[in-house]
Amino acid sequence: MLIRTIKLYYGKKPQAPADLVYLVMLAFALLVNGQVTAAERPQRFELASVFHPADPFFGNQLEKLLTIVKREETEKVKFRRSRKTRGFSAVQAVQLINASGIDVVLLDPIGLGFRPAISQVFGGLPFGPEASEIVKWSESTEGRKIIDQAFQSNGTHVLLCGHANNDSGVFSRDEFIWPDVPRGLTIHSQGLSNEIYQQLNIAARPLPRGDLYLGYASGVVDLLVSLNPLMDARAGFAQVSNYFYYPSWERNSVFALLVVNLKKWQSLPARVQTVIADACDVLNQKAVTIDTQAALVTIANQGAGNTRVEPWPPMFLNAAEQAWREVLPKLMDRHKSLVPALEALNILNSYTK
């Protein structure tokens, strides 16, 4: 290419010493120019979301984040919305991040299970505190340190990008009469609530995300915990349920967590890191508020004979709280990283004294 360029310039192949000097200078210039061009080429930052577009809380949260970020001058980074995680679980999405298949994913941390265990603090605490209390702890020096250590050990960096108060509910085909429940009763649930149901002799049988409706409708499980009743109101569960117990105790808050490949995060210019973090702060300033009444009406109007929406029997709530007290020491022993958070959120004082 260089010789062709010189030939075009001179109309001949380089022969004289001056031509050779020019050739060397041109080669050096092209080399330097190539390095500068590579250095100035924007770094691509690919973001995806695990939230369903119809999710009333965070279905469009990633778009909101991108809108805020793109207002800033981040010429060194090009942000791109990806759909690679469509249909993925939270765990599968993080695995894709660790494999460098994507840079960032927005997800519900309770879907991560205990990888790491601190994920369960964000919406997975039975009888837990309000979302604002968890946000306050996560922004404290101790909270941020614990969260960073837990996720960085998994090769990721995380930022809270939204929160809301949101009570879970439980679909049931039959009336739940406590303590006269049939032997072998099974329930689809996730996270820490599994331990409580096991303690109550109700077998926790978590179903894959894509098999929830079929598994419940076909009787693989007898009960199904809905962590997002506003989303599940139109998912068809009520059509095969005679009862919906609401509000329930498995969770009363929901969060949007931005999970970033750690190496990718560290490679970003400091200003770009600040732009992303500030955007998440904006989205996390106030809790998302949605009227649940319309969703409850939708649930009640489904089913062959309408679905009865009612609270849990008081005796069962008392039994569940007692079971939580009994399983807490075992959980703390198994997942020691949870202890500082449970102490700071006053859960240990409330349930182990």
pLDDT at 352: 64
Instruction: List all residues 6 or more positions away from 84 whose beta carbon is below 8 Å from its beta carbon.
Output: 46, 48, 96, 101, 102
Sign of torsion, CA 92 55 165 61?
A: positive
Residue 306, CB half-sphere, CA atoms under 13 Å: how many? 8
Per-residue model confidence as pLDDT tens digits over 120-148: 999 899 998 999 999 999 999 999 999 99
Give backbone dihedrals phi and psi of 91, rounded to 5 degrees, phi first.
-65, -45
pTM here is 0.86
**Domain spanning 42-166+252-284: CATH superfamily:** Bacterial extracellular solute-binding protein, family 7 (3.40.190.170)
> Measured between alpha carbons, how far is 130 from 141 in angstroms, rounded to an integer?
20
For 158-227, the three-class secondary structure string (H helix, E strand, C coil) is EEEEEEEECCCEEEECCCCCCCCCCCCCEEECCCCHHHHHHHCCCEECCCCHHHHHHHHHCCCCCEEEEC
pLDDT at 120: 95
Which parts of the chain register pLDDT below 70?
A: 1-40, 73-74, 303-304, 352-353
Q: Are 68 and 217 in contact (CB under 8 A)?
A: no
Residue with tokens 């062709």, as numbered in its chain: 4
pLDDT at 106: 98
Whole-number Cα distances in Å, 57 to 92, 256, 282, 307: 21, 9, 15, 24
> Measured between alpha carbons, how far is 109 from 72 in angstroms, rounded to an integer?
28
**Alpha-carbon dihedral of residues 117, 121, 122, 123, nearest 10 degrees?**
110
Could you tell me which CATH number the domain at 169-250+292-351 has?
3.40.190.10
Q: Are 307 and 243 in contact (CB under 8 A)?
A: yes
Decide whether 42-166+252-284 matches 169-250+292-351 in CATH topology: yes
Residue 327, CB half-sphere, CA atoms under 13 Å: how many? 20
pLDDT at 37: 47
pLDDT at 72: 81
| Domain residue ranges of the chain, discontinuous segments joined by + | 42-166+252-284, 169-250+292-351
DSSP annotation string for 243-286:
EEE-S-SS-SEEEEEEEEEHHHHHHS-HHHHHHHHHHHHHHHSS
Instruction: List all residues 6 or more positions away from 268 whose beta carbon is below 8 Å from its beta carbon.
Output: 43, 45, 77, 276
Q: CA 222: distance to chain centroid?
A: 27
Give the bridge partners for 105, in sequence order.
Answer: 48, 259
Per-residue model confidence as pLDDT tens digits over 2-29: 444 444 434 445 555 544 543 444 344 4
